[in-house]
């Protein structure tokens, strides 16, 4: 009698238990925005001797390396202008204050990743790279 009760309890609990939740369907790849580089922290660095390297990975599998150096009083606008020379006009948006650069594409190719490396500059002055959807 005891074994029948235990078996019924075990079977009954399985029958009454809620079904396992179904996995969520995968979200379709949607366009989330553009990469941005905010140079505003760099503007307050004062006198510098720095180098900035930007590596852009595009959808066609290529990697583009851009580099700019500056000595003396830091000026952000010439740095942005130097990087802008590597992009087509329709690939780039520069804010009016010339402190932020929005990378829409690189030579017509979607941008998959942006890495920024600075040399000879304190961490608190580093520009900020914002991936799509992180504004």
Does residue 25 lie within any of the structural domains? no
How far is 133 from 27, CA to CA, in rounded Å? 15
How far is 111 from 66, CA to CA, in rounded Å? 14
The pLDDT of residue 132 is 86
Structure-token pair, residue 66: 């851009």
For the entire predicted model, the pTM comes to 0.70
Q: At 87, is the secondary structure helix, strand, or coil?
A: coil
The pLDDT of residue 13 is 58
Please give the biggest Cα pair distance in the chain. 92
* pLDDT single digits (tens) 20-74: 778 888 766 555 579 999 999 998 888 889 999 999 999 899 999 999 999 999 8
Structure-token pair, residue 19: 């079904």
Does residue 7 lie within any of the structural domains? no
Q: Tokens 């304190």 appear where?
A: 122
Does residue 81 lie within any of the structural domains? yes
Do 104 and 34 meet the contact criterion of CB atoms below 8 Å apart?
yes
- Assign residue 80 the CATH number of its domain: 2.60.40
How far is 1 from 45, CA to CA, in rounded Å? 83
* pLDDT single digits (tens) 86-110: 898 899 999 888 889 999 999 888 9
The whole domain housing 52 covers 33-130
At 130, is the pLDDT very low, low, confident or very high (cuts 50, 70, 90)? confident
At 10, is the pLDDT very low, low, confident or very high (cuts 50, 70, 90)? low
Q: At 116, is the secondary structure helix, strand, or coil?
A: strand
Does residue 74 lie within any of the structural domains? yes
């Amino acid at each position: 009698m005891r074994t029948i009760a235990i078996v019924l309890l075990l079977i009954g609990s399985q029958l009454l238990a809620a079904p396992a939740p179904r996995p969520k369907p995968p979200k379709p790849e949607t366009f989330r925005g553009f990469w941005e580089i905010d140079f505003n922290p760099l503007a307050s660095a004062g006198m510098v001797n720095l180098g900035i390297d930007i590596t852009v990975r595009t959808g066609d599998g290529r990697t583009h390396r851009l580099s700019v150096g500056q000595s003396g009083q830091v000026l952000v606008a010439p740095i942005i202008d130097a990087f802008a020379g590597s992009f087509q006009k329709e690939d780039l948006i520069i804010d009016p204050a010339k402190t932020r650069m929005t990378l829409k594409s690189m030579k017509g190719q979607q941008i998959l990743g942006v890495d920024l490396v600075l040399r000879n500059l304190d961490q608190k002055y580093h520009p900020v790279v914002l991936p799509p959807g992180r504004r």
